[in-house]
Structure 1
Amino acid sequence: MIDRRHLLGTGGLALAGVVGGCATTRAPSPASANAPLDLIADLQERSFRFFWDTTDPATGWAPDRWPTPSFSSIAAVGFALTAYPVGVVNGWITREQARARTLATLEWFAAAPQGSGADDASGHKGFFYHFLGVTKGLRFARAELSTIDTALLIAGVLFAGTWFDDGTDPAEARIRTLADQLYVAIDWTWIVPRPPFLSMGWHPESGFIPSDWNIYNEGMLMYLLAIASPTHPLPPATWGALTQRFEAAWTDGWGEPYLHYPPLFVHQYSHVWIDFRGIQDPFIKSKGIDYFENSRRAVRNQRAYGIVNSGGWVGYDKDCWGWTACDGPGDFKLTLRGRQREFFSYSERGPGTRDDGTIAPTAAAGSIAFEPELAATCLRTMHQRYGEGIYGKYGFLDSFNPTLTDANAPLKHGQIVTGTGWVDKDYLGIDQGPIVAMIENQRTGLIWKTMQRNPHLRRGLERAGFHGGWLG
């Protein structure tokens, strides 16, 4: 649902000091010639190191993308904060390192300037701008004050405040204090110009964005945080008004009946922090499933879409699938093998929306907690087929397109790789984040178990009418 077609461009300002903090960690160990690569473990560690290596250790600013120089994405910061404890439990960094990086991040955001000016603030009313410049951390270009990206940031903040629970350590106590401070500062009631729904954002030049979060999408987490607020809560009835509109998305057009939204990130983001297994609100209970099962069906339906492959794209099959919002080769048309094809740059992709043959590994990797065997098989298949063409320093590059092999194509991003097709050159923070988190949720349930202890999330779920499972 988020329009993430980086209209601000990717030239941006060069990242300053983004490699600091990585000297004290070891690099991922290469597989020996006689030992098979444990791809899932290797992928998780490499994806974690994207955040550890590229995030500014003094401010916590995580880049929108790398290696293309870019602004910082506040949503990527939320995923970075979530990744640090994953690094601790896996032995990639120490608790002390994670604590120092987390505390620096929260201190910076708590002190960041807030105000209604167009170019002298990082946020307003407790919300933050979607993108921040990496020299001063102020609003980048004409970025919007983003409700959903603030929610993703705050989810990482609250996770950190819950995980760092050492009652004897003053730094961890400070992390907990700052986490609550940042959360309660958000005035959710201010950004509801068309009640009961949250606007997608606000610009100081023009006011509220004229679109609301009012359909099934990644905004579930955002609404639960807004309803739970101790200071500026939305009414609990907001959840019922929202789910009334979910009915329009209930379909069996791609296989099993489910709440449909084409790209898989919509079915992943809220689930990074919320364990929806066994808990139900009245709407999803009426369908006889929970939201976790809904995301499982979304994964299986995407795979079924890839098997059918009605568009005749190269590479799609039962073991190679996965579409979400991701980079693409550019906005142009080409005739390939006698058939005109249309390609897109950054765009949402999936069944029922744009499909230009571009596959995003994060779609499968971020779904591993829903369908472990299907997702792992898909990732291994991609790696076996395309190998070094799509897999590098921080794991899978953001996307690739085996159909597009024309070296003369007018590319906006990426490059043509012999034997693979078009391959992106970048890693994206908001696509790396679900890889780290959902592999860990599938492996240990770390993020889910931690957030079950967070009183704000529990309060939001209960006010929204969820029952059963771990809430019971």
Structure 2
Amino acid sequence: MKTYLKNPLSLGIALLSLAWSCAPKESQTSSPVIAKGYDRHVELQWPKQADVDSYEVWVSTGNNKFAKRGTVADTIYMDFVNDLGKNLNLQYKIVAIDGTGGSSDLGLAQASTRDFTDEELVNMVEYYTFRYFYQGAEPTSGMAPERIHIDGDYPEDDQHIVTTGGTGFGIFGLLAGIERGWITKEEGAAHFQKMVDFLEKADRFHGVWPHWLDGQTGRVKAFSPNDNGGDLVESAFLMQGLLAVREYYKNGNDQEKAIAAKIDQLWKEMEWDWYTQGGKDVLFWHWSPDKEWVMNFALEGYNECLITYILAGASPTHTISPDVYHKGWARSGGINTDVEAYGYQLKLKHNGSEAMGGPLFWAHYSYLGLNPKGLKDKYADYWEENRNHTLINRAWCVENKDGHKGYGEDLWGLTASYSVKGYSAHRPGDDLGVISPTAALSSMPYTPEESLKVLKNLYYNYGEKVFGRYGFYDAMSPEANYYPKRYLAIDQGPIVAMIENHRTGLGWRLFMGAPEIQAGLDKLGFERK
């Protein structure tokens, strides 16, 4: 289980000017309170006031009669209004409460809700999830916090810990945010400038970053006692995103070209060949400056790590031979199987889960930039593998032989997330009754209609239990009444990245546009459209 990271409850309030293009436009007044109406909720924000302990939120549906909705210490409130009806015209007021119990009206704001189209709902979820990586970013580094707990419970010493892999996933969301106007081109460039400047100076081990970094200092934070050095897989996830940024900016203005050039240098400094332990026919996950190869974790397929071999094969400076891929990852053909579940076939041995596939993040992490459509080699058709993997996972939940409450066609998706028993890699056969929203939502390219049903069910029927300022929370279990208000970067990132890939193919287009990637795929024997 990973450690917690603290995130101030007022995070992001300084960003009230952010363009919320997925919401109905509201008429603004001089009030410091800003209200935005969506389909079934209204989001309110206001500036933090000195010497104020809490804020009361009041709403009126007409005739100037206000009813209290809640009391918060925060300066953001998500008001789910199912109890008030649909297509509403609402007026809100915020009352500030000081330490003596005295009160003062902070201001009024109006908002309207209306029925959203499917496209607007998807846009809303993508936008909210994007905010994790922009509003929620660690301020010094611009990197993604390992986790954000809205419900508290953080050790103070982990306040600034950021994740390399989760940042790489979120990069695709930041690019989508620029393209969709949620932030300006200038804001996006400034954010990426901060990020690459930090990564240039941060701890690296033969060009490879660790799993966790201190976002203020750039120093490694050990993931475990022996995992205090280079993490090749997490760094591959990071570089997958960074290469997309390089492609996005390489023909831009002077600042953008400088960002692209710095990423190119970081890419060329990654010593993929070092991580073969001196020339073995396989890549290894970890290297430590004082423990060296003690973890000795060989990357053998199939799991989430395919992108690591693609990048290693594509490296212009520290590449690997095709034998490392075919003998190591593919185990000289031992990666193949021929199993079927619920009428769907898998061609790859999913490590530890051969019969019905591993947790669904295996169909996501390597494919945020690497386009699985038409991607084939002698071992698999990766679009078919990922789609069938998803459909098997869904079918297990729909069958629901263990009788978990809520499971069905509109509530499915098992993957690694929080759970009632701590962090767990949920999958068919190891099912704790916990649904992870990222599983179905990040599968939207593979199962668009089936994933949309889950999105609608979560938003309309579970509402504030599962949806907050950064989108859907990490996990939920109706039977255990388990609805933690917590986020993980590695689960939020694939949601925004894969929704955008479903809508426009942005991440796929940028990453696959890198000439080294095309050459690396050829070198390892891949076909693609």
Q: Tell me the secondary structure at the aligned position of residue 437 of structure 1.
A: helix
Using the alignment, how far apart are the partners of 1:466 and 1:162 within structure 2? 21
Task: Find 1:231's aligned residue among 317, 334, 347.
Answer: 317
Task: Find 2:375's aligned residue among 279, 299, 323.
Answer: 279
Aligned to 1:140: 221
Q: In the alignment, is the contact (CA less than 8 A) between 2:207 and 2:269 conserved in 1?
A: yes
Using the alignment, how far apart are the partners of 2:326 and 2:9 within structure 1? 45
The question of 1:385 aligning with 2:461 is answered yes
Using the alignment, how far apart are the partners of 1:95 and 1:20 within structure 2? 20
Aligned to 1:287: none
Aligned to 1:54: 136
* 1:203-246 alpha-carbon deviations (Å, 9 max, x no partner): 33422222211120111111000011111111022222222456
Identity of aligned residues (%): 30
Task: Find 2:193's aligned residue among 82, 103, 112.
Answer: 103
Call closer, same or farther: CA 1:323–1:367 in 2, change over 3 Å: same
* 1:97-143 alpha-carbon deviations (Å, 9 max, x no partner): 1111111111111122xxxxxxxxx2211111101123312111455
Using the alignment, how far apart are the partners of 1:19 and 1:382 within structure 2? 24
Task: Find 1:440's aligned residue among 493, 500, 504.
Answer: 500
Using the alignment, how far apart are the partners of 2:246 and 2:9 within structure 1? 27
Aligned to 1:151: 236
The question of 1:22 aligning with 2:8 is answered no
Call closer, same or farther: CA 1:156–1:16 in 2, change over 3 Å: farther
Q: Tell me the secondary structure at the aligned position of residue 176 of structure 2.
A: helix
Residue type at the aligned position of 2:125: L
The question of 1:428 aligning with 2:428 is answered no
Call closer, same or farther: CA 1:460–1:15 in 2, change over 3 Å: farther
The question of 1:82 aligning with 2:172 is answered yes
Aligned to 1:179: 263
Task: Find 2:344's aligned residue among 256, 261, 268.
Answer: 256
Q: Which runs of 5+ in 1 are unaligned?
A: 113-121, 285-289, 330-343, 405-420
Aligned to 1:118: none
Which has the larger displacement, 320-329 or 375-384? 375-384
So what's the TM-score if we normalise by structure 2?
0.75
Q: CA RMSD in A?
A: 2.2
Q: Tell me the secondary structure at the aligned position of residue 482 of structure 2.
A: strand
Using the alignment, how far apart are the partners of 2:520 and 2:8 within structure 1? 37
Q: In the alignment, is the contact (CA less than 8 A) between 2:130 and 2:177 conserved in 1?
A: yes
Considering Cα pairs closer than 8 Å and 6+ residues apart, tell me whether 1 or 2 has the greater RCO.
Answer: 1
Q: In the alignment, is the contact (CA less than 8 A) between 1:47 and 1:436 conserved in 2?
A: yes
* 1:36-91 alpha-carbon deviations (Å, 9 max, x no partner): 23321111000001111111354222101113554211112212322221001111
Q: Tell me the secondary structure at the aligned position of residue 341 of structure 2.
A: coil
Q: In the alignment, is the contact (CA less than 8 A) between 1:268 and 1:367 conserved in 2?
A: yes
Aligned to 2:115: 36
Q: Tell me the secondary structure at the aligned position of residue 209 of structure 2.
A: strand
* 1:376-433 alpha-carbon deviations (Å, 9 max, x no partner): 11221222331211111111100001111xxxxxxxxxxxxxxxx1012211111111
Cα deviation, residue 346, structure 1: 0.4
Which has the larger displacement, 19-28 or 375-384? 19-28
Task: Describe how 1:358-373 pairs up with structure 2 within 5 A.
Answer: 358-373=434-449
Task: Describe how 1:231-380 pairs up with structure 2 within 5 A.
Answer: 231-241=317-327, 242-243=329-330, 244=332, 247-248=335-336, 250-258=338-346, 259=348, 260=350, 261-284=357-380, 290-329=381-420, 344-352=421-429, 354-380=430-456
Q: Tell me the secondary structure at the aligned position of residue 500 of structure 2.
A: helix
Aligned to 1:191: 275
Cα deviation, residue 93, structure 1: 0.7
Call closer, same or farther: CA 1:15–1:460 in 2, change over 3 Å: farther
Cα deviation, residue 248, structure 1: 4.9
Residue type at the aligned position of 1:442: H
Q: How many residues are treated as equivalent by the alignment?
A: 416
Using the alignment, how far apart are the partners of 1:181 and 1:402 within structure 2? 48
Call closer, same or farther: CA 1:204–1:446 in 2, change over 3 Å: same
The question of 1:123 aligning with 2:201 is answered no
Residue type at the aligned position of 2:389: A
Q: In the alignment, is the contact (CA less than 8 A) between 2:397 and 2:412 conserved in 1?
A: yes
Using the alignment, how far apart are the partners of 1:175 and 1:21 within structure 2? 26
Structure number with bigger Rg: 2
The question of 1:455 aligning with 2:484 is answered no
Task: Find 2:247's aligned residue among 146, 151, 162.
Answer: 162
Residue type at the aligned position of 2:428: P
Which has the larger displacement, 244-253 or 269-278? 244-253
Task: Find 1:395's aligned residue among 460, 468, 471.
Answer: 471
Task: Describe how 1:407-426 pairs up with structure 2 within 5 A.
Answer: 421-426=481-486
Q: Tell me the secondary structure at the aligned position of residue 132 of structure 1.
A: strand
Using the alignment, how far apart are the partners of 2:7 and 2:363 within structure 1? 33
Q: Which runs of 5+ in 2 are unaligned?
A: 24-36, 40-85, 88-113, 351-356
* Structure with the bigger percentage of strand: 2
So what's the TM-score if we normalise by structure 1?
0.83
